[in-house]
Amino acid sequence: MEYRNLGRTGLKVSELCLGTMQFGWTASKEVSLEVLTTAFESGINFIDTADVYSRWAEGNPGGVAETIIGEWMKGSKIPRHQVVIATKVRGRMGDAPNDEGLSRVHILQAIDASLRRLGTEYIDLYQTHWFDESTPIEETLTTLSDLVRAGKVRYIGCSNYPAWRLTEAILVAEHQGLSRYDSLQPHYNLVNRAEFERELADVCRSYRIGVIPYSPLGGGFLTGKYRQDNTVESGRSGGVRKYFSERNWKLLDAMREIGDQRGGHSLSQVALGWLLSDPLITSPIIGPRSLEQLNDNLGAAGFRLLPEEKQLLDDASDWRN
């Protein structure tokens, strides 16, 4: 497993990041613990979660994924410094008016709750889950900077930020001497490129921001699960139907051919390899719901596309055409 610096920082993270949105939702607690152990033993040291995971699921009050990670850390007795834990704040965690957002009051409540659930004294990467239009960016960044100074947080990052807000945050931090965002989690994959590439990529490149893409497999579309002649029905199929086009079916054919020519790599591994072949990308976030899916994803570790292979997929999925 290769390890990379997170953006401009000296924090080294594995080339694949283990996402945990599925913990306590589509993956049981027992399976989640097995996935965590296997991932760590395979070289993954980077674990991404959020306080809201997965509050939308029936019977899940939020905080479940963090709690599972905390129990795993305690039970496995892995030295804390060997794991890079990233979590997020922003979503609603209760019914009171200040139980969501990026205000000072909510962040200070949320950080202590996350630390308690995770069973740790500090969070390596604390991320704002999406931007809060009702809270001044100065208030958010000042609060996050206070957490860094207090030792509760090592680095800060953000997710789902538009380019204008990310740029504003960087400039405000630099002007006021505050901690700045060192990472971005964008929705980025072969069939969803424009959202990141149109503006955000240049911002991340210019300010040396680490990029941790989520949904690198396009909700399952880039795994080959869905086929033009035999579309699989599943609980998530509605969200990926937007990718059902002649162009994208041909993209899957091209990916399949590359995988076969390179020794039998799966479509998932080719999709992850496409991201890993871009020097701007730090760690794609994988979200396996089973050991089988995890082992398939792990096959992408160390896999890089040849320049001509990457160019072929770039051309086949170019949103500007």
Contact 193, 277 (CB under 8 A): no
Respond yes or no: is residue 53 known to be catalytic.
yes
The active-site residue, picked from 53, 161, 188, 226, is: 53
Residues 125, 85: contact at Cβ < 8 Å? Answer: yes
Nearest to 85 by CA among 57, 45, 53: 45
* Residue 126 dihedral angles phi and psi, to the nearest 5°: -105, 120
- The values of phi and psi at residue 59, to 5°, are 80, 5
Sheet holding 17-19, edge to edge: 210-211, 181-185, 153-159, 123-128, 84-89, 46-48, 17-19, 285-286
Q: How far apart are CA 166 and CA 164, in angstroms?
A: 6
Q: Which residues are tagged catalytic? A: 53
